Structure 1
Amino acid sequence: MNSPTFLEGKHALVTGASSGLGWQFALTLARAGAKVTLAARSTDKLETLAKEIEGFDGRALPVRMDVTDVASIRSAVAAAETELGPVDILVNNSGISALSPSEAISEEDFDAVMDTNAKGAFFVAQAVGQSMIKHGHGGKIINIASVASNRVLKQNIAYCMSKAAVKHMTAALADEWGRYNINVNGINPGYIVTGINRDYWETDHGKKLISRLPRRRVGDPEVLDGALLLLAGPGSDFMTGSMIDVDDGLTAKGF
């Protein structure tokens, strides 16, 4: 069983940490003893999160990172490692969606989703992977995909495509980087309540969707803590290229 601070001394970098799942991931890793770099495009909310982590004697570093800008990614990783040392754990979490019928989605929206969720995720993994290879100590890369990597979410074509790419990227990087003792795994969350979508679940459309889910409920971000800590810690040392579904049975549900 893991001790409460079993990640003591580890440096974790969390992208998309200014809200939602990223915020929760950062808190969870910090409570487990990790030093945490908080990365997002805007650092205002990151400062608030850093103060919350410091409130329980954790250590957190806010850094600006735009995952659609490779130079920004490299600069942020370099700044994080200058301050907190080499990254041991990456939570590759940044993501957006653009709801639209496939026949109507714009090139601008399609590119924004793919650039953030697929291209951005890869170049963050590349920057951290390069550092892990250079330092020779291995590490853990945790890619946050989605139930959409396994099944279709209606009128969300770019998001589905991007998350399928993240799933396949996880397997490809695991295959290539295993020789460097880098474990590359991922999590497929189901429907999770966040600040962005909280109001939606109270609408008629949201309630109708919940009624079609296997257990007629959506999850809070904390439901992902178990999978996150498994993949961040020594319990996953013999795991790489794996995707863990944390979706309350949605993938198992018949179409």
Structure 2
Amino acid sequence: MMNMERRGAGFVSGDLGRTLCLITGASRGLGWSLAVALAPRLKPGSHLVLVARSGESLRQLEARLLEGSPGRAGQLRLSRVEADLSGEEGLQRVLNAADCSRAPDPDRLLLINNAGEDTFHPLLFPSNSFPMQHKCGISFPS
């Protein structure tokens, strides 16, 4: 049985090792907040990939992250990906940005898939629009 106390303490203390961290929907709300919370916990050599449809919001987030810890600029690789994940082109942009071939293999992969529409409500939209609202899930091309 896994020792949950030990596992949880590693996260709280910031011991994430060298991580490839990919956050979709990073331009606002939960995605933005998680990026701000996780960036200082990533070890040198980590790669933080911020993904959203709004490039301007991603630039603002990047500035905030670098402003909050100026000494980390050379230690944390940060990539901004402006992409709509409902299409193959957007997914390919994310995969290209997350390519680990230019750096040592990460100790762990942290995927926070927060992308999606926030306007869906079953009483307001016809049932045939439901799949469109959930099309933003990550899938890997075969």
TM-score over 0.5 for the pair: yes
TM-score by length of structure 1 reads 0.41
The 3 A distance-change label for structure 1 pair 84 and 23 is farther
Residue 61 of structure 2 aligns with an amino acid whose one-letter code is: L
1:6 deviates by 1.2
The 3 A distance-change label for structure 1 pair 112 and 84 is farther
Query: What is the 5 A alignment of 1:98-247?
Result: 98-101=120-123, 105-106=125-126, 109-115=129-135, 120-123=136-139, 126=140
Residue 94 of structure 1 aligns with an amino acid whose one-letter code is: A
| Equivalence for 1:92 | 113
| Equivalence for 2:62 | 50
Please give the alpha-carbon distance, in whole angstroms, between the structure 2 residues aligned to 1:52 and 1:84. Answer: 25
Q: Higher Cα Rg: structure 1 or 2?
A: 1
1:82 deviates by 6.1
| Equivalence for 2:96 | 78
Return the match for 2:83 from 62, 65, 68.
65
Structure having greater relative contact order (Cα 8 Å, sep ≥ 6): 2
- 8 Å Cα contact 1:15/1:92 also seen in 2: yes
Q: Which runs of 5+ in 2 are unaligned?
A: 1-8
Please give the alpha-carbon distance, in whole angstroms, between the structure 2 residues aligned to 1:21 and 1:71. Answer: 24
Return the match for 1:7 from 16, 20, 31.
16
Return the match for 2:39 from 26, 30, 38.
30
1:37 deviates by 0.7
Aligned residues: 120
| Equivalence for 2:27 | 18
Please give the alpha-carbon distance, in whole angstroms, between the structure 2 residues aligned to 1:21 and 1:108. Answer: 28
TM-score by length of structure 2 reads 0.68
Please give the alpha-carbon distance, in whole angstroms, between the structure 1 residues aligned to 2:49 and 2:138. Answer: 18
The 3 A distance-change label for structure 1 pair 35 and 19 is same
RMSD of aligned alpha carbons: 2.8
- 8 Å Cα contact 1:7/1:29 also seen in 2: no
1:41 partnered with 2:61: no
1:108 deviates by 7.3
The 3 A distance-change label for structure 1 pair 80 and 25 is same
1:106 deviates by 3.7
Please give the alpha-carbon distance, in whole angstroms, between the structure 2 residues aligned to 1:4 and 1:51. Answer: 25
- 8 Å Cα contact 1:16/1:39 also seen in 2: yes
Please give the alpha-carbon distance, in whole angstroms, between the structure 1 residues aligned to 2:19 and 2:102. Answer: 9
The percent identity for this pair of structures is 23
The 3 A distance-change label for structure 1 pair 22 and 111 is same
- 8 Å Cα contact 2:26/2:51 also seen in 1: yes
- 8 Å Cα contact 2:19/2:47 also seen in 1: yes
1:38 deviates by 0.4
| Equivalence for 1:206 | none
